[in-house]
Amino acid sequence: MMTEADYYALFEAYQHGELAAPARTDLERRLSSDPVLAQRYADFADLTSTLSSYGQRLSTRRKLRAIQADLDAEQAVKLTVDDEVLETGNPQMPQLHISRTEQKLREFWHGHRATMMVAASVAVLAVFTTLLGLEWWKARQQPTQYGYTVLRRDVDRIKRTQRVMNKAINQIGALPAAINPGKFSGTGFALTSDGYIVTSYHVIQGADSLLIEGRDRQRYRAEPVFSDVAHDLAILRIKDRNFSGFGRLPYSFKRGTAELGEKIYTLGYPREDQVYNDGSLSARTGFEGDSAFYQISIPVNPGNSGGPLLDDRGNLIGIISGRQMDVQSAAFATKSSYLMKLVDSLSSMNSVQPYNLPRTNQLAGSSRPQQIRKLQDYVFVVKVYE
Amino acid sequence: MAKATASYTDDEFVAAIRRGDDRALAQLYRLHLPMVSHYVLQNSGTEDEAKDVYQEGIMVFYEKVRDGSLELSCQIKTYLYAVCRRLWLKRLTEKTRFGGRLDDHEPYLETGAEADLLEAEERDRRFATMGEALERLGEPCRSLLEGFYLLDKSMQQLTADFGYTNADNAKNQKYKCLVRLKKLFFTHYKEEESF
């Protein structure tokens, strides 16, 4: 019995032609008749040929490596002869001499070009989306009041003055619109017939001297008697010697709270002339729920501050104080009850010159123009010099 | 042109390489290296990768020539370009999930390189299996077979190297080793084929 190794010896001898003629014909006959043996031979041939071509492959690879090494060495010593390359008709590739760092950068750029492009476009997209989104969101937040862009210039100006008023409400800001620098004006009205005047605290805030001017251009110098910062109230007294009193005041002061929806009006000096405005009482509390103020729907302007607020029957119910910037026609007025409390406490403290508040109301029952005609002489401009 | 080295035409190259002329191979090698390395560098490869790809491409060409089975329907240059292009594409696909297109600076022609490459791949696989089988064969069989088949040493020399008493002993050992190698190689190769 022959082992497989023995067969291999036989096959090798056969391949190399070392078998004697009879043995060879015998083997060939057996190969053609015995499929198992034929398979064995095929495997053997396959194996040996693979082995030898594998050997060739390895040697070729060594050869190529050697060639490449030669080339590298040549390049290293810069011995490359150019015309040898030219001779074989090879187009010369342009050789760039670049530094090591640049080489690295180039490789990096080559490798990550696509990724970086994508990243950059995502970044750009994100930035613009954010900007546009913010813009859109802001536009949504704008109150409808500013819908017309054509109005914007005006609105901007109004906003500026509104900001001033708003500050005034919080008792930190300066005063309403000034005619010339260093001089402010507001409105005031008579508290008693003997020279007490009421205005808003923020009108006289920081004042050096005060001038009261009536409709008839009559001027009086005045001095502050008392200020109530929290309720934005100030009481002035005329100190001119030739002042002889206002005469009988036509209105009276309401001590209680006025009703919602009451028709109300005011007189003031938002400009050089007296201006009348009316509206109604819209809330019992003022800015941010301050219970010392009313909210009123009278269009007021800088300069109206300190003006009297009267109801239909001629009762004085409040003192104009300011308005809210971002809400449409929301103005605020100090409640007259707070003025009354202030006057009461002042008169109990100080008896030098008593407060003779008017007790009767001459306006009730008369028409609005008649009321105003009676009222107009008791409303003054308060001019402030710093 | 002043250089004395004979410049070969394509046909002369093929003939010389078939004869086993290593100088012709070396010349062919350096002739087309710039083209391929330029191509690879253009397509986000490095110098070393270019060399690897080029060597593989030359190998495909060389083995076909030695085999006598090469049918050139175009210039050697075009053939090599096509082969190396395919090889580089394959490598890129393996390296990253490469989705982009390659920048060609020569129109890609139908050169028959595709078919040759398939063949070469099959051969590569075979050689890889063989290499593995040899690794697993263990000593002294491995050295013996490598000496005989890969390094073309004579039986006498091997007998001396491995300290066998005579050439017949060495031969018998060799056959036994072959049988073992056959088992390793074929079981492995068949296994892989069934995938």
Q: Write out pLDDT tens, residues A174-186.
A: 444 444 444 678 8
pLDDT at A2: 67
Instruction: Flag whether pLDDT at A309 surpasses 60.
Output: yes
pLDDT at A87: 46
Nearest chain A CA: its distance from B83 CA (Å): 17
Instruction: Flag whether pLDDT at A23 surpasses 90.
Output: no
In total, chain A counts a number of residues equal to 386
CB contact under 8 A, A58 and B186: no
Long-range contacts, B121-127 (Cβ 8 Å, 24+): B123/A53, B123/B63, B125/B192, B126/A50, B126/B189, B127/A50, B127/A53, B127/A54, B127/A57
CB contact under 8 A, B62 and A107: no
pLDDT at A264: 92
Instruction: Flag whether pLDDT at B104 surpasses 60.
Output: no
Average pLDDT, chain B: 76
pLDDT at A343: 87
Question: A177 Cβ partners below 8 Å, 6+ apart?
Answer: A161, A164, A184, A301, A302, A303
pLDDT at A203: 81
Residue A284 in contact with residue A335, Cβ under 8 Å? no
Other Cβ atoms less than 10 A from the Cβ of A281: the count is 23
CB contact under 8 A, B100 and A114: yes
**Minimal-distance CA residue of chain A relative to B43:** A110
Does A16 or A249 have the greater pLDDT score? A249
Compute φ and ψ for A278, nearest 5 degrees: -135, 175
Instruction: Flag whether pLDDT at A117 surpasses 90.
Output: yes
Does the CB of B5 have a partner CB in chain A at under 8 Å? yes
Condensed to tens digits (0 to 9), the pLDDT of residues A283-303 reads 888 777 788 889 888 888 878
Instruction: Determine the Cα–Cα distance for residues B18 and B29; give it in Å rounded to an integer.
Output: 15
Q: Which two tokens stand for residue A17?
A: 């032609």
The alpha carbon dihedral of A295, A299, A300, A301 has a sign of positive
Nearest chain A CA: its distance from B171 CA (Å): 8
CB contact under 8 A, A68 and B100: no
CB contact under 8 A, B7 and A87: yes
Does the CB of A107 have a partner CB in chain B at under 8 Å? yes
Identify the residue whose tokens are 């890129």.
B92
Measure CA B195 to chain center: 24
Percent of chain B with pLDDT over 70: 84
Mean pLDDT of B14-31: 82
Q: Which segment of A21-35, A93-107, A259-273, B40-54 scores lowest on mean pLDDT?
A: A93-107
- Three-class SS of residue B96? coil
**Minimal-distance CA residue of chain B relative to A65:** B55
Measure CA A215 to chain center: 47
Residue A312 in contact with residue A362, Cβ under 8 Å? no
Instruction: Flag whether pLDDT at A88 surpasses 90.
Output: no
Nearest chain B CA: its distance from A59 CA (Å): 8
Does the CB of B81 have a partner CB in chain A at under 8 Å? no
Residue B28 in contact with residue A89, Cβ under 8 Å? no
CB contact under 8 A, B131 and A86: no
Chain A residues within 8 A of B46 when measuring between CB atoms: 107
Mean pLDDT of A194-213: 85
Amino acid identity at A108: F
**Minimal-distance CA residue of chain B relative to A108:** B44
The HSE-up count of residue B44 (CA atoms within 13 Å, CB side) is 20
Instruction: Flag whether pLDDT at A127 surpasses 90.
Output: yes
Nearest chain A CA: its distance from B63 CA (Å): 8
Q: Which two tokens stand for residue B184?
A: 């390793």
Crossing angle between the packed helical segments A35-76 and B167-194, to the nearest 10 degrees? 90
Identify the residue whose tokens are 């919080």.
A170
Compute φ and ψ for A294, nearest 5 degrees: -100, 155
pLDDT at A119: 95
Q: What's the whole-model pTM score?
A: 0.43
Pick the closest to residue A60 from B10, B111, B124 (CA basis): B124
Condensed to tens digits (0 to 9), the pLDDT of residues A29-50 reads 888 888 888 888 888 888 888 8
CB contact under 8 A, B179 and A8: yes
pLDDT at A169: 65
Q: Which two tokens stand for residue B7?
A: 């410049």
Reported confidence tier of residue A352, pLDDT bands at 50, 70, 90: low
Pick the closest to residue B48 from A99, A101, A72 (CA basis): A72
String of b and e for A209-235 (b: at least 16 CB within 10 Å)? ebbbbbeeeeebebebbbbbeebbbbb
CB contact under 8 A, A93 and B38: yes
Q: Name the range with the highest mean pLDDT among A123-132, A353-362, A372-381, B7-16.
A: A123-132
